[in-house]
Chain A
């Protein structure tokens, strides 16, 4: 299963993982999952910002997502979406995601390990309004 999306902190921080060689169809599936959880967040935590962890440690390749604006449009409509916490050591993946963030205007922070990213997520939540981030 190359695409997996779920909550890390319910209705606040999504955790998504892409692995292997991801295709355009997989990216569409990923976008659908993101829309689902952003909708859930708006329903259950209205007015709150929603963050997303993007675990790309096992991702080997992906299409140039920065050119797939039509697929991304449903996600871009959500005003509640906030920063993405990208985890990768692959320079090419990093470039693609950073370009996507640039083109679609969302904040991105990049990390080399899951632990570093989770620390940053917890810190971000602590600085906003949550203190009860569970450990995954």
Chain B
């Protein structure tokens, strides 16, 4: 036999390969198809018949000629695989050719005929994976009706086999209580033909066997809606009968699927979060995984998930699976006793702790079982006995549920974060996990509950509780009493609504508030402070922000991640929304709010400074601000008195952005600034306030008001304010002064209109450059404005701006010259306040020169804003 090894993939994308290397240079798709046909139809084929089949609408002579061309192409790559005779063609039987469709078909027929024992499952799963798509689905060709018919028939045959295989695989998995496997393939089968009653019934049965009857009923209802809308049809009678049977709780798993179980499933709706179940199963299937901790905040569904997993896996263990609640344990010393009691270990009179431990460990030694230790957080940090169990009993697997991990090296971790909530662009929010759980719970309380009428409120509730299952169950329970819109409002306001609806639940599972209080009281003071501090962030936060603003060290962050109080989210962190709101309430009454506000302010100003130092173009700067805007404007938690001060400090950086992009917010900002009591502010901040108020007025052509603020600045003297602020003040004056000067003082009729238009634009650009601290850019405009100045005061203001910029950038000689120039321009004009301010600034600039040789460094990293 030849060593040639050719593989032909036909299920999905057509691919012919030799020794794994794809062969691509066929003259046409028909060349590849001819090879596929010959490989799948062993034996000799007459050339004439093949030509007629592949070119059915072409005259015989031409078809034979086409066939010859195709054969020439095939010879190039596959000459050894073909036996080419004058009148016939065949595949060379000495060459090994593997055709996936043929292999799939043969294996399928054999598998379907075999008895369905549990060990058939892996084989069936492998076969299902072989079917990567419809037979030759993506191959296109023309004028070959007979070939097309052959492909269509083969497609139908193979798809039927695949469908049957899936159906049998699901049945076998159900029969042997491998529900997670069954569920996975049931989804595949349904997506194959969403209108097929048989698949619908199978899925309903499966969900019912899994104790998820509500979901089975919802599935039927969705199926009926689909049939009605797409096909104007109704489900088959058998499907409807099954629905009634499930609704009446009359459907039981077949006897063979009912082995003895030690697990009691919680009697509450269970919606599996994404692939949580599959992931946990996969971890437990790994031989090295002996201890798996499912951790998360209270109410996130740890117990439910662990119990479901134990229920589904119990038959994997020779000695079964057990769920042991540790809620009543006082300490880790109670653990051996709880184990002995639950596992019915005989311990006679040996009641001392060491003896009992030895007996339990000895009993476990030879056992192959799964133990679920539920609510382990009560026993932390004690883990010694768990470690001893794992060392002694090599066939033991332990699932721990806890609010924090055990911090053991051999521990595998599964953080639980709640159910998926609908995203803003979700077109089918009713299918999200959180909405499904809400619906299932509400329908338990009120069978007439209609999701579609209240979907918007339900989606909002799901978002408010961030998909936390227990919170959803509590909220949905209230639908029997309170209108759903009111429930949403109550949760949004963080208002308590805890009436004992469920006497059989522990107190901390009775209301959202009690659940959060339970979590909160379990925290150390340090953790409580950390969460309070972190609640200043609306959504996500970085490690740098945590360390700088909240002064929380990395060790504490680590602990909080291990306790699932915060979660890693990409390269940042986030807090569960419910915990965030609870911590926010604590923040309102925290005496550290003021200090946090100061540090937040300093951090944001530093960040803005860093952005400016990258020298972006204006629109790039705007883009950066847009990206950071939510964080920058996150001030509603700060003290009421500090909020406008913070905004005022931000205005140094954000004023151009507000003016250009957020014009609607300007009136509100102006009100906030006007609410500040000037006497409470230090002189620098007071000057900044006057400047920004003047800008607000100038923007709306309120030139007189703007000038009033400018005059107040000049009257306050020039001893305060940064040079950047003074440059901005003079720039603003350039636009305000000409509009407030007496009419006869400015010869408007003589003005060149173009210069006027350009000057207006230059003023705006100059203000933008100064706001960005781009002084090189700013200085480009100053000569133009000086040249075009219509009045001595205009030119004096340009010179004054130049002087302030020069002082800011440390060019002190230049600054002195420009101050002199400005004062010369003012000369005999009647501007005593402006003249006084310029004289004072000139003296101040000279003092800068005498105290430092290089002047201020405007490009230094430290924010130029003074601490308040």
Residues of A within 8 A of B (CB): 64, 66-67, 69, 73, 76-77, 91-92, 94-96, 98-99, 101-105
**Once the chains are docked, how many angstroms separate the CA of A59 from the CA of B260?**
68
Report B-chain residues with C-beta under 8 Å of the C-beta of A104. 761
20 extra interchain contacts, Cβ-Cβ under 8 A, other than A95-B626, A103-B768?
A64-B617, A64-B618, A66-B619, A69-B765, A73-B757, A73-B758, A76-B757, A92-B623, A95-B661, A98-B661, A99-B622, A99-B660, A99-B768, A101-B660, A102-B659, A103-B764, A103-B765, A105-B760, A105-B761, A105-B764
**Once the chains are docked, how many angstroms separate the CA of A92 from the CA of B758?**
25
4 closest cross-chain pairs (CB), A and B? A95-B619, A95-B622, A103-B764, A102-B660
**Once the chains are docked, how many angstroms separate the CA of A99 from the CA of B619?**
7
Cβ of B753 within 8 Å of any chain A Cβ, yes or no, is yes
Min C-beta distance of A68 to chain B, whole Å:
10
Q: Mark B643-661, 1 if CB is under 8 A from A, else 0.
A: 0000000000000000111
Min C-beta distance of B614 to chain A, whole Å:
16
**Once the chains are docked, how many angstroms separate the CA of A127 from the CA of B620?**
36
Report B-chain residues with C-beta under 8 Å of the C-beta of A101. 660
Closest to B627 in A: A91
B760 touches A91 (CB 8 A): no
Report B-chain residues with C-beta under 8 Å of the C-beta of A92. 619-620, 623
Min C-beta distance of B70 to chain A, whole Å:
44
Report B-chain residues with C-beta under 8 Å of the C-beta of A99. 618-619, 622, 660, 768
Report A-chain residues with C-beta under 8 Å of the C-beta of B617. 64
Report A-chain residues with C-beta under 8 Å of the C-beta of B525. none
B757 touches A67 (CB 8 A): no
Q: List 8 A-B contacts (CB under 8 A).
A: A64-B618, A64-B619, A66-B765, A76-B761, A99-B619, A102-B659, A102-B660, A105-B761
**Once the chains are docked, how many angstroms separate the CA of A96 from the CA of B616?**
13
**Once the chains are docked, how many angstroms separate the CA of A103 from the CA of B622?**
14
A73 in contact with B754 given A98-B660, A99-B619, A103-B761 (CB within 8 Å): yes
Report B-chain residues with C-beta under 8 Å of the C-beta of A94. 661
Report A-chain residues with C-beta under 8 Å of the C-beta of B765. 66-67, 69, 103
Min C-beta distance of B537 to chain A, whole Å:
23
Q: Chain B: interface residue count, which band?
A: 20 to 34
Closest to B617 in A: A64
Min C-beta distance of A32 to chain B, whole Å:
18
A102 touches B764 (CB 8 A): yes
Q: Quick one: which of B622, B660, B753, B761 contacts A69, CB cutoff 8 A?
A: B761
**Once the chains are docked, how many angstroms separate the CA of A95 from the CA of B623?**
7
**Once the chains are docked, how many angstroms separate the CA of A73 from the CA of B760?**
12
Report A-chain residues with C-beta under 8 Å of the C-beta of B659. 102
**Once the chains are docked, how many angstroms separate the CA of A73 from the CA of B661?**
23
Report A-chain residues with C-beta under 8 Å of the C-beta of B757. 73, 76-77
Closest to B762 in A: A69
Report A-chain residues with C-beta under 8 Å of the C-beta of B626. 91, 95
Taking each of A76, A91, A96, A102, which has the highest tally of chain B beta carbons within 10 Å of its own beta carbon?
A102
Report A-chain residues with C-beta under 8 Å of the C-beta of B661. 94-95, 98
Q: Mark B442-477, 1 if CB is under 8 A from A, else 0.
A: 000000000000000000000000000000000000
Report A-chain residues with C-beta under 8 Å of the C-beta of B761. 69, 76, 103-105
Report B-chain residues with C-beta under 8 Å of the C-beta of A64. 617-619
B758 touches A69 (CB 8 A): yes
**Once the chains are docked, how many angstroms separate the CA of A20 from the CA of B762?**
29
Min C-beta distance of A58 to chain B, whole Å:
19
Min C-beta distance of A61 to chain B, whole Å:
11
Closest to A70 in B: B758
Report A-chain residues with C-beta under 8 Å of the C-beta of B754. 73, 77
Taking each of A66, A73, A92, which has the highest tally of chain B beta carbons within 10 Å of its own beta carbon?
A66
**Once the chains are docked, how many angstroms separate the CA of A76 from the CA of B753?**
10
Min C-beta distance of A60 to chain B, whole Å:
14
Report B-chain residues with C-beta under 8 Å of the C-beta of A73. 754, 757-758
Min C-beta distance of B560 to chain A, whole Å:
35
Closest to B765 in A: A103
Q: Mark B731-760, 1 if CB is under 8 A from A, else 0.
A: 000000000000000000000011001101
Report B-chain residues with C-beta under 8 Å of the C-beta of A77. 753-754, 757
Q: Quick one: which of B618, B623, B660, B762 contacts A91, CB cutoff 8 A?
A: B623
Report B-chain residues with C-beta under 8 Å of the C-beta of A102. 659-660, 764
Q: Mark B320-351, 1 if CB is under 8 A from A, else 0.
A: 00000000000000000000000000000000
Q: Identify which of residues 750-786 in chain B touch chain A, using a CB-to-CB cut-off of 8 Å.
A: 753-754, 757-758, 760-762, 764-765, 768
Min C-beta distance of B174 to chain A, whole Å:
49
Min C-beta distance of A34 to chain B, whole Å:
15
**Once the chains are docked, how many angstroms separate the CA of A106 from the CA of B762?**
15
**Once the chains are docked, how many angstroms separate the CA of A76 from the CA of B759?**
12
Min C-beta distance of B710 to chain A, whole Å:
21
Q: Mark B545-566, 1 if CB is under 8 A from A, else 0.
A: 0000000000000000000000
Report A-chain residues with C-beta under 8 Å of the C-beta of B660. 95, 98-99, 101-102
**Once the chains are docked, how many angstroms separate the CA of A77 from the CA of B622?**
28
Report B-chain residues with C-beta under 8 Å of the C-beta of A105. 760-761, 764
Report B-chain residues with C-beta under 8 Å of the C-beta of A96. 619
**Once the chains are docked, how many angstroms separate the CA of A45 from the CA of B768?**
36
Closest to B659 in A: A102
Closest to A72 in B: B761
Min C-beta distance of B99 to chain A, whole Å:
48
Closest to A103 in B: B764
Q: Mark B637-676, 1 if CB is under 8 A from A, else 0.
A: 0000000000000000000000111000000000000000
Taking each of B626, B660, B760, which has the highest tally of chain A beta carbons within 10 Å of its own beta carbon?
B660
Report A-chain residues with C-beta under 8 Å of the C-beta of B618. 64, 66, 95, 99
Min C-beta distance of A85 to chain B, whole Å:
16
Closest to A76 in B: B757
Taking each of B661, B753, B760, B768, which has the highest tally of chain A beta carbons within 10 Å of its own beta carbon?
B661
Q: Mark B605-622, 1 if CB is under 8 A from A, else 0.
A: 000000000000111101
Closest to A67 in B: B765
Q: Mark B677-695, 1 if CB is under 8 A from A, else 0.
A: 0000000000000000000
Min C-beta distance of B112 to chain A, whole Å:
53
Closest to B757 in A: A76
Taking each of B617, B618, B622, which has the highest tally of chain A beta carbons within 10 Å of its own beta carbon?
B618
Min C-beta distance of A130 to chain B, whole Å:
26
**Once the chains are docked, how many angstroms separate the CA of A103 from the CA of B619?**
12
**Once the chains are docked, how many angstroms separate the CA of A73 from the CA of B754?**
7
Taking each of B619, B757, B761, which has the highest tally of chain A beta carbons within 10 Å of its own beta carbon?
B619
**Once the chains are docked, how many angstroms separate the CA of A16 from the CA of B753?**
27
Report A-chain residues with C-beta under 8 Å of the C-beta of B623. 91-92, 95
Report A-chain residues with C-beta under 8 Å of the C-beta of B760. 105
**Once the chains are docked, how many angstroms separate the CA of A94 from the CA of B618?**
12
**Once the chains are docked, how many angstroms separate the CA of A95 from the CA of B753?**
28
Closest to B626 in A: A91
